């Protein structure tokens, strides 16, 4: 399969120029000012060509909650948002505590064929917060373990989980929440659990990724540990930098004060934030009415971040590409995230010059739950390309 993108503004973490990109046999084969080939051509005039986005933190709800989302609808939502690689959390039904569920998700994603899917295994069996014996049965295909959706309250269990992960070369993704504390103070809950998990990572030397950082204090703790050289990465979500607690919308962790948002944005500017994680959490209308926390966010992630971070001149678009493509690709061990010869031909073509309004009715996700409804944003995805194949086109979707 061959594809040529011509006269686009080519941007990744380290470059920005007008030119052509030629993809052959699934990989980037040539990058030049002008290329001529007898193959399918996309005209890129006036558009920006970026590495496709990589999501370290997403929920496709399959198996068990497919009325909210399934692998097909989640994959369609991902490519509409410019994503070709996602890491799915384990809080399905059954919980992904076994290679059987892992293999089901992997095989189903391959059948759908739109995005590369990695499935996370739970730290504790069935998210019970106690038993980690199932980790002895997982294969070396597993890159991450996480009880995302719940924090592991028992210190010894988290310690044992980190020691096991370290011995297997696996990174732990931490959902920093003590549910008992969160009942009356979500801020205290996040901050204390962040401090504990960071301390355990320093002690065990286990690679640790902190999910959906939302408070100033939690980020300060992470920065202090990073300065010590801890193998520690972190993500922020589009909604935690795009919204404040003045917006009434239920997510976990909650939307925070403007002072927190400003601190997170400054941490991105200074290079302390490794990735944008969407925490894509689709729900049915009924579940959302009944108080289910979460945003269907993978389709609005890039426009929210581009509008909030780049157009408001906090960071360059190169920096945004770094935290949406390069860094998460490196954390996941993928040959993706840069526009460079030899890298996978996974790209997104976006229009950064024309605004559009978010309409949940147009989402490919089954979850239409978004606080961004009607918001004017820039950075609409026009094409998503995976391995040189167009997997999303605004013109035909």
- For the segment 278-321, what is each residue's pLDDT rounded down to a tens digit? 999 999 999 999 999 999 999 999 999 999 999 999 999 999 99
Res 65: pLDDT = 97
Res 344: pLDDT = 98
- For the segment 92-132, what is each residue's pLDDT rounded down to a tens digit? 999 999 999 999 999 999 999 999 999 999 999 999 999 99
The yes-or-no answer on residue 279 being catalytic is yes
- For the segment 147-156, what is each residue's pLDDT rounded down to a tens digit? 999 999 999 9
Res 96: pLDDT = 98
What is d(CA 152, CA 174) in angstroms, rounded to the nearest whole number? 8
Q: What is the mean pLDDT of residues 350-358?
A: 97
Q: pLDDT band at residue 1, thresholds of 50, 70 and 90?
A: confident
Catalytic residue among 20, 55, 116, 279: 279
- The pTM (predicted TM-score) of the whole model is 0.97
Q: Is residue 362 part of a domain?
A: no
CATH at 32: 2.30.40.10
Q: Are residues 105 and 11 in the same domain?
A: no
Domain count, the chain: 2
Res 172: pLDDT = 98
Domain that holds residue 39: 2-49+345-356+370-393
Sign of CA dihedral 56, 290, 62, 305: negative
Q: Are residues 97 and 40 in the same domain?
A: no
Backbone φ and ψ for 206, nearest 5 degrees, come out as -85, 135
User: What does the DSSP assignment read for 146-193?
Assistant: E-TTS----HHHHHHHHHHHHHHT-EEEE----HHHHTT-HHHHHHHH
Q: Is residue 364 part of a domain?
A: no
Q: Are residues 214 and 229 in the same domain?
A: yes
What is d(CA 59, CA 282) in angstroms, rounded to the nearest whole number? 7
Q: Are residues 111 and 208 in the same domain?
A: yes
Q: pLDDT band at residue 395, thresholds of 50, 70 and 90?
A: confident
Query: Quick check: 206 and 162 in contact, CB under 8 A?
Result: yes
Q: Is residue 96 part of a domain?
A: yes
Q: Are residues 23 and 103 in the same domain?
A: no
- pLDDT above 90 as % of the chain: 98
End-to-end Cα, the chain, rounded Å:
22
């Amino acid at each position: 399969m061959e594809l040529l993108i011509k006269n686009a503004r080519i941007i990744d973490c380290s470059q920005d120029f007008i030119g052509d990109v030629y993809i052959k046999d699934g990989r980037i084969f040539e990058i030049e000012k002008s290329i001529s080939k007898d193959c399918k051509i996309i005209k890129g005039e006036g558009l920006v060509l970026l590495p496709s986005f990589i999501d370290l933190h997403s929920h496709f709800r399959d198996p068990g909650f497919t009325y909210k989302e399934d692998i097909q609808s989640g994959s369609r939502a991902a490519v509409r948002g410019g994503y070709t690689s996602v890491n799915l959390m384990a809080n399905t039904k059954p919980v992904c505590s076994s290679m059987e569920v892992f293999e089901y998700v992997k095989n189903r994603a391959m059948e759908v064929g739109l995005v590369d899917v990695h499935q996370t295994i739970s730290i504790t069996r069935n998210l019970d917060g106690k038993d980690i014996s199932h980790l002895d049965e997982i294969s070396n295909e597993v890159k991450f373990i996480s009880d995302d959706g719940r924090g592991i309250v028992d210190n010894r269990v988290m310690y044992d989980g980190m020691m096991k992960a370290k011995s297997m070369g696996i990174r732990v993704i931490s959902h920093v929440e003590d549910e008992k504390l969160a009942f009356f103070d979500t801020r205290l809950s996040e901050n204390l659990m962040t401090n504990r998990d960071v301390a355990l990572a320093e002690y065990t030397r286990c690679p640790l990724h902190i999910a959906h950082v939302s408070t100033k204090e939690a980020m300060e703790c992470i920065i202090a540990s990073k300065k010590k050289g801890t193998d520690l990465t972190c993500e922020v979500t589009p909604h935690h930098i795009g919204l404040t607690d003045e917006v009434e919308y239920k997510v976990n962790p909650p939307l925070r004060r403007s002072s927190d948002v400003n601190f997170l944005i400054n941490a991105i500017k200074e290079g302390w934030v490794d990735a944008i994680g969407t925490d894509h959490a689709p729900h049915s209308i009924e579940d959302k009415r009944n108080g289910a926390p979460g945003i269907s966010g993978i389709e609005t992630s890039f426009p929210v971040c581009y509008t909030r971070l780049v157009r408001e001149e906090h960071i360059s678009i190169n920096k945004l590409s770094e935290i949406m493509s390069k860094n998460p690709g490196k954390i996941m061990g993928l040959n993706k995230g840069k526009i460079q010869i030899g890298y996978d031909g996974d790209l997104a073509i976006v229009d950064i010059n024309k605004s559009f309004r978010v309409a949940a009715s147009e989402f490919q996700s089954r979850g239409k739950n978004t606080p961004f409804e009607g918001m004017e944003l820039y950075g609409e995805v026009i094409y998503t390309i995976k391995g040189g194949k167009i997997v999303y086109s605004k013109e035909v979707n």
